[in-house]
Amino acid sequence: MTDKQYDVIIIGAGVVGAMIARTLSRYKLDILLIEKDADVCMGASAANTAIVHAGYDPPPGSLKALMNVTGNRMWDTLAGELNFPFERRGDYVVAVGQEELPKLDELYQAGIKNGVPGMLMLGGDEVRRREPNINPEVSGALWASTGGICDPFAVVIAAAENAVVNGVTVMLETACQGFVIEGQRIVGVKTNRGTFRCRWAINAAGLYSDVVMHEAGLRPEFKITPRKGEYYVFDRAEITINNVLFPVPTKVSKGILVTTTVHGNTIIGPNAQDVEDKEDRAVTAAGLDEIWQGAVKLVPKLSLRQVIAVFAGLRPAGNGECTTPGVNYKHDFVIEIPQQVSGLVNLGGIESPGLTSSPAIAERVVELLKDAGEKLVEKRDWNPIRNARPRFRDLPREEQKLLIRNDPRYGRIVCRCESVTEGEIVAEIHAPVPVRTYDALKRRTWLGTGRCQGGFDTPRVVEILARELGVSPQEITKKGPGSQFLMRRTKAVEPEEARSVSQRQDRGGPNGEV
Amino acid sequence: MALKTKYDVIIIGSGPAGLAAAVAAKKEGAEDVLIVERDKELGGILLQCIHNGFGLETFKEDMPGPSYAQRFAQEALSLGVETLPDAMVLDVTSTRHLYAIGKWSGLVDLEARAIVLSMGCRERTRPQIRIPGTRPAGVYTAGTAQRFVNVEGWMPGKRFVILGSGDIGMIMARRLTFEGAKVERVLEIMPFLTGLTRNYVQCLLDYNIPLQLGHTVKRILGNHRVEAIEAVRVDAKWNPIPGTEEVIPCDTLLLSVGLTPENELSKKAGVLIDPVTGGPFVDEGMQTNVPGIFAAGNVVHVYDLVDWVTEAGYLAGRSAARFAIAERKRATGQVKLQAGDNVRYVVPQVMDREALAQSGQRLQMRVVKPIEEKVWVEIMDGQNLVARKGQRYARPGEMVTVDLPQKAYDAVQKADHLTVRVVKRGGE
């Protein structure tokens, strides 16, 4: 038990939690942001299409629609202040064949109702002219100029870092295990690191938002159904897609799209598969086949030979009912201060467009707190700016030269495919949100994401992490406890009980002397 | 050792191909040969290949990889090959400029008369063969595991399954067994062995490690660390045969599923790549389509034995040296004569370097401003005086001459250009 008292404890350091932490750090509040995993941005925020949506998809009148369109408008300022990669390239919803055309019109109408600016209906010829790699059968497209792409890791990390610099405490590998409730009020959060007292808890637990709200005795009917989406990533520059290409959407999702990342890789996916396990990010053969079929429908030129990565993400799809009268929609965002329990801001079902909406959601949380009588006093010295650390490969040569002159570690390339230097790695390890795992470095520097997928850098990165953290290489993990890279020293003898008698017998031969 | 800015031959990578190329280039008469190596020591992947089987053809000896590398490295160094270790080449142009960075060298711009590409190859990875399942720690390429075990001294696992019967995979099966690990199985999707038979006998059969042909990994299990893999038999089209699945508990999956020539730099230089080999198109002397850029070893196509890589390195090194020497002759056949202080022009403007072998040469010029006192008419190579003559004065209206004597022959060979100036003699 600890007596540490916070004003606000935010549960979950995905994009929503980090954005709330950063937004609340404007005020004179003692804030704790807890995350069950070994890094921020480990759940739904980590594995998605990285798109800042224009806002024509959510049903008009839904909270999703409002948050999406409001959030979308905030991204230019956000990217400017937090210095993460964001490009407002626009996106297309592509119709193939005449039968898909009416769907475009529906989307256009929804977009108008939602207040999406900058939409345009394009004919097939115009689309072919703009995207030469597109399926020649394209019959038309809805163009939305406010669509954008970002690097979601960079967004969450930047927001969390800015929060830390403004006084927020981040605790990783700290899981919410329940609440301390006195009367009808939440006064503390129980974790694996002890209990922390607070005046407000904020449920930003994403895939686990249902579990967290049930702990608080709320909404027993609310359920998150993890919806898996699988993706392929292609080698940079093998094929170029200028913009985000959506197919016409289905009932459950926006469909399998073809897009480009801010790092220049083409990416395809996701499919939509409901699963039970909140940690089931396994890629399936059937799923990969499905996204492949979907993607080649849009861009027939894609080749599987150029795939450099596959991954799966889980969308935290909820069953929250839309509260707007007259709108029948059962998968809306939940953003509320419930009546039954005080001291809790309850969020749930923040699936797509959650990334886009996150800055708007954070502002809405501020409004809810004010409405609940919380006196939010702005800090005089709040610093909205978070400076990005230098990325060697993106710098002009003169600046590279200077960087190496000032710190020779920037002269040592550790990841050859992505040209990531030791200097960058060391800087990340000692950043405001410190790095302790390989994957955390990977998301920050993009090391290990290229053609060799870490084959070259892994031994070198393990060594640097161990050196900088002052631990044995054996303790270095890929993504937190249980994911160690190394088992033991060579020549070390394993404990006797670990080696079964039969194992030694069947080995036999000249290696018996080991 | 200070780096020069221009070399006859620059070799990228110090594996067996690069080392052999360096030795051959030097022996062929190249003056300055530089090897750029990204690791701290020369030898490339040989340094982690501590098993024997190297050098049977080249030296008629059975050597481990590091010894093979060391023999070449020593020969190269004793021949005067220069090295830039711990430095990565980031860019190569078709005009043979290189751009490299290193922790100690900083950022360096280099120019070469000829380049040998010998960056080797990289291993194919899990995404390339698209193994479904989770993404835990414990999935390594065989080469990465080899580095951990043989160079870093760490065991990346205790119970292994190896996918692919390539040579590195089989060699690692034996190596891991030596280190007390259990290798449960080697799976090969093809109906035949893809590595050398001698490795099958010496690395698998001798240690009772089962090999299953026509099998692959259907999926990987375990969220944090590999907990098991599901093996499956495949049909003639590599499709899994339902009902043949078998879950094999293990903590590590090694991939030995093929190698790809490493040609990102080559492409930057405009080198054309054969889509079948994944390496450059080369001629009989290992020259690529870009004049003066040569390639050797696994960067061209994947070899089975190091001895053949060495042979290709020799060939590329020799060709590169010949190209560089011809280039040097062509570029250095003439020396420019330039106007220096108080000289408007010099005639002739260029001179054959061999001209002085026949007789001295008279240079003619006019001065810019009059100097009404004693002057020197000096022929300079940078700051070094090559020849001079004195005059009582110099006036624009009167042509000035100076002779380049035959004895200046050696000085002319060294010079890039000569400058003629007319200066006051005062102070003497």
Look up the pTM and report it. 0.85
Query: B252 and B129 share a domain?
Result: yes
Q: How does pLDDT run across B123-160, given as a tens digit for each residue?
A: 999 888 889 999 999 999 999 999 999 999 999 999 99
CB contact under 8 A, B38 and A413: yes
Q: Which two tokens stand for residue B405?
A: 């004597």
Kindly list the residues from chain B whose CB atom is less than 8 angstroms away from the CB atom of residue A308.
125, 127-128
Give B 190-249 residues with CB within 8 A of chain A: 206-208, 218-221, 223-225, 240
Whether B274 is covered by a domain: the verdict is yes
Which of A6, A5, A42, A29 minimizes the C-alpha distance to A433? A42
| pLDDT band of B427, cuts 50, 70, 90 | low
- The alpha carbon of residue A302 is apart from the nearest alpha carbon of chain B, in Å, by 14
| pLDDT band of A238, cuts 50, 70, 90 | low
Model pLDDT, residue A507 = 40
Domains of chain A with bracketed CATH: 1-85+149-223+318-388 (3.50.50.60), 91-145+225-314 (3.30.9.10), 390-514 (no CATH)
Distance CA A101, CA A105 (A): 7
Whether B335 and B353 have beta carbons less than 8 Å apart is answered as yes
Distance CA B208, CA B185 (A): 10
Distance CA A444, CA A428 (A): 7
B347-362 mean pLDDT: 87
Query: B159 and B234 share a domain?
Result: yes
Measured between CB atoms, which of B126, B137, B219 is closest to A453? B126
A53 is catalytic: yes
CA B221: distance to chain centroid? 40
- Domain C-terminal end among B198, B228, B257: B257
Query: B118 and B264 share a domain?
Result: yes
Spell A172-182 as b/e; 16+ CB within 10 A means b.
bbbbbeebbbe
Burial of A104 (0-12, 13-18, 19+ CB in 10 A): buried
Query: B46 and B100 share a domain?
Result: yes
Stretch (H or E) spanning A112? helix A101-114
Measured between CB atoms, which of B137, B177, B219 is closest to A485? B137
Mention every residue, 6+ apart, whose C-beta is less than 8 A from residue A25: A31, A162, A163, A166, A167, A168, A379, A382
Model pLDDT, residue A3 = 63
Model pLDDT, residue A509 = 36
CB contact under 8 A, A404 and B127: no
> Residue A336 forms beta bridges with which residues?
A346
CB contact under 8 A, B103 and A412: yes
Q: What is the CATH number of the domain that holds B98?
A: 3.50.50.60
- Give me the residue label for tokens 């100076």: B402
pLDDT above 50: residue A511: no
Query: B230 and B249 share a domain?
Result: yes
Which of A168, A202, A154 minimizes the C-alpha distance to A362? A202
Kindly list the residues from chain B whose CB atom is less than 8 angstroms away from the CB atom of residue A238.
none
**Which chain A residue has its CA at the smallest distance from B123's CA?**
A452
Whether B84 and B100 have beta carbons less than 8 Å apart is answered as yes
Query: B247 and B309 share a domain?
Result: no
- The alpha carbon of residue B277 is apart from the nearest alpha carbon of chain A, in Å, by 14
Q: How does pLDDT run across B164-219, given as a tens digit for each residue?
A: 999 999 999 999 999 999 999 999 999 999 999 999 999 999 999 999 999 999 99
CB contact under 8 A, A498 and B158: yes
Model pLDDT, residue A496 = 56
Q: What is the CATH number of the domain that holds B415?
A: 2.60.40
Q: How does pLDDT run across A367-376, given as a tens digit for each residue?
A: 999 999 999 9
Phi, psi values for residue B355, rounded to 5°: -55, -40
CB contact under 8 A, A490 and B206: no
Whether A245 and A196 have beta carbons less than 8 Å apart is answered as no
Q: Is the ipTM here above 0.90? A: no
Whether B369 is covered by a domain: the verdict is yes
Whether B280 is covered by a domain: the verdict is yes
For B125-156, give the DSSP string: -HHHHT--B---B-EEEHHHHHHIIIII-EE-
- Say yes or no: B88 contacts chain A, CB-CB below 8 A: yes
- Give me the residue label for tokens 């042509």: B399
Whether B62 is covered by a domain: the verdict is yes
Q: Which two tokens stand for residue A238?
A: 């093998």
The residue among B37, B179, B266 with the most chain A CBs within 10 A of its CB, best to mutate, is B179
CA end-to-end span of chain A, whole Å?
A: 48
- Domain C-terminal end among B199, B222, B257: B257
- Residue B289 CA: distances (Å) to CA of B102, B318, B327: 29, 17, 17
Structurally, chain B folds into a number of domains equal to 3
Specify the 3-state DSSP secondary structure of B161.
Answer: strand
- Residue B251 CA: distances (Å) to CA of A503, B160, B162, B186, B244: 16, 6, 11, 14, 22
Distance CA B391, CA A21 (A): 85
Query: B363 and B408 share a domain?
Result: yes
Distance CA B187, CA B164 (A): 6
Distance CA B183, CA B54 (A): 25
pLDDT above 60: residue A508: no
- Neighbouring C-alpha atoms within 13 Å toward the C-beta of B272: 9
Strongest mean pLDDT among A359-373, B333-347, B382-396: A359-373
For A6-29, give the DSSP string: EEEEEE--SHHHHHHHHHHTTBS-
What mean pLDDT, rounded, does chain B reach? 93
A46-66 mean pLDDT: 95
Phi, psi values for residue B337, rounded to 5°: -115, 120
Kindly list the residues from chain A whose CB atom is less than 8 angstroms away from the CB atom of residue B206.
509-510
Whether B1 is covered by a domain: the verdict is no
Whether A58 and A65 have beta carbons less than 8 Å apart is answered as yes
Q: At how many degrees (to 10) do helices A152-165 and A354-371 cross?
A: 30
Whether B354 is covered by a domain: the verdict is yes
The DSSP code for B41 is S
Whether A420 and B101 have beta carbons less than 8 Å apart is answered as no
A32-59 mean pLDDT: 95
Kindly list the residues from chain B whose CB atom is less than 8 angstroms away from the CB atom of residue A490.
149, 153-155, 179
Query: B354 and B406 share a domain?
Result: yes
Q: Which two tokens stand for residue A106?
A: 């529906």
Q: How does pLDDT run across A72-110, given as a tens digit for each residue?
A: 999 999 999 999 999 999 999 999 989 999 999 999 999
Query: B116 and B264 share a domain?
Result: yes
Domain hosting residue B186, numbered range: 125-257
Kindly compute the dihedral angle of the four CA atoms of residues A125, A131, A136, A141, in this order, to the nearest 10 degrees.
-60
Better pLDDT: A296 or A160: A160
pLDDT above 80: residue A242: no
pLDDT above 90: residue B345: yes
CB contact under 8 A, A507 and B264: no
Q: How does pLDDT run across A202-223, given as a tens digit for each residue?
A: 999 999 999 999 999 999 999 9
Q: How does pLDDT run across A112-135, given as a tens digit for each residue?
A: 999 999 999 999 999 999 988 899
What is the identity of the amino acid at B147?
A: R
Measured between CB atoms, which of A282, A413, A508 is closest to B134? A282
Query: B237 and B316 share a domain?
Result: no
Query: B89 and B201 share a domain?
Result: no
Kindly list the residues from chain B whose CB atom is less than 8 angstroms away from the CB atom of residue A484.
137, 225
CB pairs under 8 A between A and B: 168
Query: B269 and B301 share a domain?
Result: yes
Distance CA A141, CA A120 (A): 8
Report the 10 Å Cβ neighbour count for A99. 10
